[in-house]
Homo-oligomer: A and B are copies of this chain.
Amino acid sequence: MATRPSAGSTGTSQSLERGLAILSSFHSDRPLIGVSELSRGLDLSRSTAHRYVATLAKLGYLQQDPESKRYRLGPKVLDLGFAALNSMDLLEISAPHLRRLCDETQRTVNLAILDGTDVVYIERYRTSQQGQREIDLNLHVGARLPAYCTAMGKAILAFVPEERLAEIIEQIDFVPRGPNTLTDAAAFRAELEKIRQSGISVNDEELAYGLRSIAAPIHSHSGEVLAALNLAVHRTVVSMDELIARFAPAVIKTAHEISVSMGHRPQPS
């Protein structure tokens, strides 16, 4: 009985799935991988792994290092990420607002969306002057962080419909990451309630020591939450109270402006 080894794979393509698994095997810290290594990691035969790799290489998604004979990601994969970014008109619309916020406050500002339990950075404006030399983790566009310990993640989740929110919270693994990380669902829900009332989300070293930020949600024309923007500083630069006092109004105002540009009606009559 149960002759079907994997029942969940109805209506999907095994080959495509495996090929993409190969692509995702390449990380920043693992840039060069050989065929055998891949076949072992994904439990495929060397021939099969090689066929996929050859296909990916032929299309430009992988390229072979002439010396080591192993493979690395090719420039073609950039095209995909690039296309994804530009597909979002959210980006175009918010760009000028973010830039202005960055100019006026002289702080780093970010834009992120929610994907599962993560936030994904979509845009980033940093000030070149500040002393804080990129010490903030490596937060490029495309970077992922767990939503529960970021100001932007909380800002978004605070306005996600209860039904979906329950599913998401179910999947969150509340791991302490900074001095003040919220580590249980109850405290987290209370925090979301606070955000819903105040309209501003704060992160006081919940993600990492020294890292503070405030964030506000961005809504679509239909009212659902789309994204969030934040403004980040280091603890040595400003206290939490000062951070809120000085920057919260501008952050909220910018988020509102972007929402309105997206077609959002602030007060549905």
Binding site for B on A (CB under 8 A): 11-20, 23-24, 26-28, 31, 50-52, 54-56, 58-61, 72-88, 99, 102-103, 113, 115-116, 120, 125, 127-128, 138, 140-144
| B75–A113 touching, CB < 8 Å | yes
Contact of A15 among B16, B27, B61 (CB under 8 A): B16
A82 touches B140 (CB 8 A): yes
Q: A16-B18, A28-B82, A77-B84 are in contact. List 14 more A-B contacts (CB 8 A).
A: A11-B51, A12-B55, A13-B55, A15-B15, A16-B55, A16-B56, A19-B19, A19-B20, A20-B59, A20-B61, A24-B79, A79-B144, A81-B81, A85-B140
Name A17's contact: one of B55, B74, B84, B86 (CB within 8 Å): B55
* A213 shortest CB reach to chain B, Å: 20
**Least CB separation from A142: chain B residue:** B82
Q: A38: shortest Cβ distance to chain B, in Å?
A: 14
Are A82 and B143 touching (Cβ within 8 A)?
A: yes
